[in-house]
Amino acid sequence: MDLKLNEKTALVTASTGGIGLEIARYLAHEGATVIINGRTSETVARACEDIYSRYPDVKLLQLVADNGSAEGYKRTIKEHSEIDILVNNLGIYESVDFFDTTDAQWQHLFEVNVLSAVRLSRHYLKRMLSRNSGRIVFISSESAINPAPEMAHYSATKLMQLSLSRSLAELTKGTNVTVNTIMPGSTKTAGVQKFIQDVFPGVEYETAEKRFMKENRPTSLIARLIRPEEIAAFVTFVCSPLASAINGTCLRVDGGLIRSAV
Amino acid sequence: MTRKEENMKTKDNALDGKVAIVTGGASGIGEAVGKIFVENSCKVVLVDINRDRLKKVVEEIAKEGSNCKGIYADVSVESQVKKLFQDVVKEHGRVDILVNSAGRDSLSPPITETTLEEWEKTINPNLKAVFLCCREAFIIMEKQGGGKIINMGSTSAKLASGPGHSPYRASKHGMMGLSKNLLREGMDKNINVTVINPSHVKTPMTEIIDKGLYDEDIPAYLEGWLDEKEIREGIHKSCIDVENVAEIVLFVATRDSSVTIPQIAIYPTHKIHRYGMEV
């Protein structure tokens, strides 16, 4: 299938690792020019090398900017004023007891997980609408509708993304621009692997993952962590002009984790 | 070998060690500039949106020992311009000369009939692209201690004599304004900016004008504007050759940086009367 991404430019925020890197790799492999974004030039360069090592002919641009801050946002739009695809992938989480979570921690999570996407969308969506072409994709989490009490602030920001995404989609009425949210389930990133290993210290990783899924994610139908490329392939399709009828919706790539018929 | 070709051969190494980016390099003036630069030992990167023609031109130019490469890019798209300059710097480490030659003519009718689409289709490659390329060139040239930017204008950058044609003339006037401003911005950075304003050059672009004018009837709004010879033979036939323009680009590119040539106008001798005292 030709996803017709050849002439498109995509910005994937926080694309130096995890799901973001994989989305960037897939978009680039499908022919899009991809802006690799991270907070340091070292991580951005390393991510580019990682993608080039598998696909030497892809088109990558480097953007060193912390989009979790207003300053980083300003740098982003200064360097790249026009893009066709925005993947709001930047997000952070931390496991903290609700009663110990401070105002500052709540505000920081809001700033990085929600306000970063608000700022970028404010700039890029306007241009997409005037060009009558574009894609915005939010990378949320199943935690949005399946909140995790040990990460109440994280879960809340992930649900906010769903609301924001639908609000922005309403603004695209009658245009060729779409705004959607993807809700991945627990995904096998370096961070999650470390988290699982920490939960089961001394247990071999494969066994630890099986135990984690059985004990902590019992509703998962695939009964394993999702591989980042499984998220990336779907996100890439949603970014394609072929996905023109998918708009204003929330799409689950959660391995069946959420027990719901629709 | 024609006289023109002989002339070119005499210049040899004038650009030895230099790296040039030439936009619109797959045809017309850009192609001719690419050729003369390569003949003068310059490392040349030709940029174009016409992949097939670009490949063909690069194959023609890239003779043994010469350094010429084609990069496909739409220079009116910000990300593609950034990628282009990034790739050239990665390969050659520098950019000494930028020739903005990409552009399109617009046979647009009077303003009441001109669509916004036509406006944008002309302004984007002729003005926005020049801005985008100059911006990247300035970043690199400032770091390396200088460079030369040569923008291909047109008589239409200074004159607006005929009916219709507003998007094209506006784009070229705009490019002139941008270039004038960059003269000052480049002053302390050892970056020289020159606009070359040719009139009536024999290129695929002017050929298209002829086709537009002569395959069908001459549009009513142009009546009385073209002279009889042009109506009879087509504009293209009475145009000057691209090599004449390329030689002047080479001349500008090889000047010492202590001298700036803001503008050069070029006219076919037999048309000089058309422009009178405004030349």
pLDDT in tens, B155-169: 888 887 677 889 999
| CB-CB under 8 Å, B86 with A80 | no
Output the pLDDT for position B225: 63
Q: Which amino acid, A24? A: A
Partner A contacted by B77 (CB < 8 A): yes
Beta bridge partners of residue A133, listed in sequence order: none
Is pLDDT at B10 greater than 50 in this prediction? no
Instruction: Determine the average pLDDT of the residues in B257-267.
Output: 93
Q: Decide: B75 and B81 in contact? Cβ < 8 Å.
A: yes
3-state SS assignment for residue B133: helix
Torsion angles phi and psi, residue B45, rounded to 5: -115, 115
Query: Could you list the active site residues of A?
Result: 154
In chain A, residues with a C-beta closer than 8 Å to the C-beta of B82 are 61, 79-80
Residue A73 near residue A116 (C-beta atoms within 8 A):
yes
CB atoms within 10 A of CB B124: 17
Q: CA of B101: how far to CAs of A100, B31, B155, B180, in Å?
A: 63, 9, 14, 17
| Closest chain B residue by Cα to residue A61 | B83
- In the predicted model, residues of chain A with pLDDT beneath 50 are none
Residues B195/B248, Cβ–Cβ less than 8 Å = no
**Among B211, B100, B235, residue whose Cα is nearest residue B162:** B235
Decide if B74 and A61 are in contact by the 8 Å CB cutoff. no
The answer to whether the CB atoms of B80 and A9 lie below 8 A apart is: yes
Answer for the pair A213, A223: CB distance below 8 angstroms, yes or no.
yes
Tell me which of B74, B75, B79, B132 to substitute to probe the interface with A (most A C-beta atoms closer than 10 Å). B79
CA distance linking residue B100 with residue B75, whole number of Å: 10
Which SS3 state, helix, strand or coil, does residue B34 take? Answer: helix
Q: For residues A191 and A18, is the Cβ–Cβ distance under 8 A?
A: yes
Between chain A and chain B, how many beta carbons pairs sit less than 8 Å apart?
25
Residue pair B63/B115 in contact (Cβ under 8 Å)? The answer is no
Q: Which residue of A has its CA nearest to B49?
A: A7
Q: Which residues contact A205 (CB under 8 A, 6 or more apart)?
A: A193, A196, A197
Check whether B135 has a pLDDT greater than 70. Answer: yes
pLDDT on residue B9: 46
- 8 Å CB contact of A33 and B78: no
A107 Cβ contact partners less than 8 Å away, ≥ 6 residues apart: none
As to burial, measured by CB atoms within 10 angstroms (0-12 exposed, 13-18 middle, 19+ buried), residue A261 is exposed
Alpha-carbon distance B268 to nearest alpha carbon in chain A (angstroms): 39
Q: Which residues in chain A touch residue B85, judged by CB atoms under 8 angstroms apart? A: none
From residue B172, how far is each of A144, B90, B104 by CA, in Å?
53, 31, 11
- pLDDT tens by residue, B63-121: 767 899 999 999 999 999 999 999 999 999 999 999 999 998 877 888 999 999 999 99
Burial class (CB in 10 A: 0-12, 13-18, 19+), B154: buried
Backbone φ/ψ region at B111: left (φ over 0), alpha (ψ -120 to 50), beta = alpha
Whole-angstrom distance, CA of residue A64 vs CA of residue A70: 14
DSSP of chain A: -----TT-EEEESS-SSHHHHHHHHHHHHTT-EEEEEESSHHHHHHHHHHHHHH-TT-EEEEEE--TTSHHHHHHHHHH----SEEEE---------GGG--HHHHHHHHIIIIIHHHHHHHHHHHHHHHHT-EEEEEE--GGGTS--GGGHHHHHHHHHHHHHHHHHHHTTTTSSEEEEEEEE-SB--HHHHHHHHHHSTTS-HHHHHHHHHHHH-TT-SS-SPBPHHHHHHHHHHHHSGGGTT--S-EEEESTT-S----
Contacts of residue A80 in chain B, CB cutoff 8 Å? 78-79, 82
Q: What is the pLDDT of residue B212?
A: 63
- Whether the CB of B79 is below 8 Å from some CB of chain A: the reply is yes
> Exposed, middle or buried: residue A46 (CB in 10 Å: 0-12, 13-18, 19+)?
middle
Contact B78/A59, CB-based, under 8 Å?
no
Instruction: Write the DSSP symbol of residue B44.
Output: E
Residue A252's DSSP bridge partners are A183
* Residue A172: per-residue pLDDT: 98
SS3 label, residue B68: strand
Q: Which residue of A has its CA nearest to B117?
A: A131
pTM of the model: 0.82
Mean pLDDT across B40-58? 96
Whether B3 has a pLDDT exceeding 70, the answer reads no
Which B positions 134-163 lie with beta carbon below 8 A of chain A? Answer: none
Taking each helix axis as running N to C, give the angle between helix B129-144 and helix B166-187, from 0 to 180 degrees, rounded to the nearest 10: 10
Pick the catalytic residue: B168, B214, B221, B267? Answer: B168
Q: Are A232 and A3 in contact (CB under 8 A)?
A: no
- Chain A: closest CA distance from residue B106 (Å): 21
Higher pLDDT, B11 or A29: A29
**Residues written for chain A:** 262
Radius of gyration over every alpha carbon of chain A, rounded to an integer in angstroms:
18
Q: Do A33 and B79 touch (CB under 8 A)?
A: yes
Confidence of residue B202 (pLDDT cuts 50, 70, 90): confident
| Tokens representing residue A185 in the block | 């389930």
Confidence band (pLDDT; 50, 70, 90) for B213?
low
Count the Cβ atoms, other than its own, within 10 Å of residue B247. Answer: 17
Comparing CA positions, the residue from B151, B150, B149, B142 lying closest to residue B190 is: B142
- For residue B128, what pLDDT band results from cuts at 50, 70 and 90? very high
pLDDT at position B2 is 47
Which amino acid is residue B40, in one-letter code?
A: N
Chain A neighbors of B74, CB-CB under 8 A: 7
Q: Which residues pair with B192 in a beta bridge?
A: B148
Residue of A nearest to B82 (CA): A61
pLDDT confidence of residue B221 = 67
The pLDDT value given to residue B223: 65
Gap from B83 CA to chain A (nearest CA, Å): 6
Whether the predicted pLDDT of B4 surpasses 80: no
pLDDT band at B200 (very low <50, low <70, confident <90, very high): confident
- Quote the CA–CA distance of A30 and A4 in Å, as a whole number: 8
Query: Any idea what DSSP says for residue B152?
Result: E
Of the candidates B79, B83, B86, the beta carbon closest to that of A83 is on B79
